[in-house]
Structure 1
């Protein structure tokens, strides 16, 4: 670590430059010259502090200069430093970020378990939905399973999965005779599907299929009213 003069344009704030392994320079807090700025024409000596450090420790130096700024302000006021030159070199040995590895492993494990759970719920929900054509209690169970899938979709933050779960739930509503609620739910998902048709074409087809089923139930309800 040493100080030396460096000829460049004067800057009012402390500038930080990171020199990477390939000698490419990345500047921080560098003031862009404004139109008519006389300093852009006159170059004066700029006091530079060069720090040669490995990339791991250099990251902490950079964070200190850019975020905390206590060290930078002291170097500027006491020693007159105007440019911090961080020259990185590879560390003697690589370090493992065990904390991040643990977070990543837990996230992957959770995602795998959720996918496994969704597969079981889809199979179970399909069975109850098929029985729901004859038994209303099975239709209610299929609806509850769809709501559990929706909770998982909300946790994963997947809007397409959420839309599919809502469509599954609309089938349960149709089987239980709640046609008006199912109609509004299908229309809502159809609007979302049309807006994202390029990303998920199957969602649009699901809406069409369930809508036809809804129309059939309305037709059967009308016939029953006429018969009565």
Structure 2
């Protein structure tokens, strides 16, 4: 029969979080039933040696990872705990305690670093597109082609904002697009975008509302009314003449 080194890790006496059984003579690691060893009767207690520990969660994580990695380490742990030659199983009961200070391991830290670098790059691209889009948008009132380019830039910003998962930035990109729609005389589409963003922001709890987005909606709405008024006057003058 293969010798078993059983690990129980939990935060309280009534809460078993993880349990593993390492076969000493094999590389196989079994994921044990969490309630299998929760209570040991007298007959079972004669077949297993139980060693209680109170250990920091980080130290416990390192310990279990090393058991997974090294068969030699498993044998050393077994030899340091067993005193009965006929024992077929050893249970290390780890009562976990909160660390004084949490820290990330190297693998998770590298993954977080990749996300941080991606966020920095996306923010940089967003800033560049905002500058470029603002330049074309300022010329959009006089040149239709510039207004169309500004609209395409707004769409690119919207895609980046989706990756950033920033709902406020998404709303601002929609408003940038609405300015381009106004300059292209697509007033109906612009009205739909502006009212949608305004209602979406106002539906939030007051502490989560972004006042800048609300002010942008009101300002662009005024721009929409002004351009609509100018376009209507052009139509009326055309009919008069």
With normalisation by structure 2, the TM-score equals: 0.62
2:99 aligned with 1:98: no
Answering whether residue 107 of structure 2 is matched by residue 124 of structure 1, we say no
Change in Cα spacing, 1:16 to 1:49, as seen in structure 2 (3 Å) is farther
Shift of 1:187: 0.6
Indicate which of 191, 201, 208 corresponds to 2:218.
208
Q: How many residues align?
A: 175
- For 1:224, the equivalent position in structure 2 comes to 234
Deviation at 1:139, TM superposition (A): 0.5
CA gap of 1:225–1:27, structure 2 versus 1, over 3 A, is same
Q: List alignment gaps of at least 5 residues for structure 2.
A: 1-7, 18-40, 66-87
Unaligned ranges ≥5, structure 1: 1-14, 19-24, 31-44, 64-77
Which of 115, 126, 135 is matched with 2:123 structurally? 115
1:188 Cα deviation from its structure 2 partner: 0.4
Q: How many angstroms does 1:185 deviate by?
A: 0.7
Shift in alpha-carbon separation, 1:179–1:53, aligned structure 2, 3 A: same
CA change 1:137–1:29 in 2 (3 A) is same
CA distance in 2, matches of 1:98, 1:29: 27
Name the counterpart of 1:37.
Answer: none
Task: State the 1:224 CA deviation.
Answer: 1.7
* Equivalent residue in structure 1 for 2:164, among 149, 153, 156: 156
How far apart in 2 are the matches of 1:185 and 1:148? 17
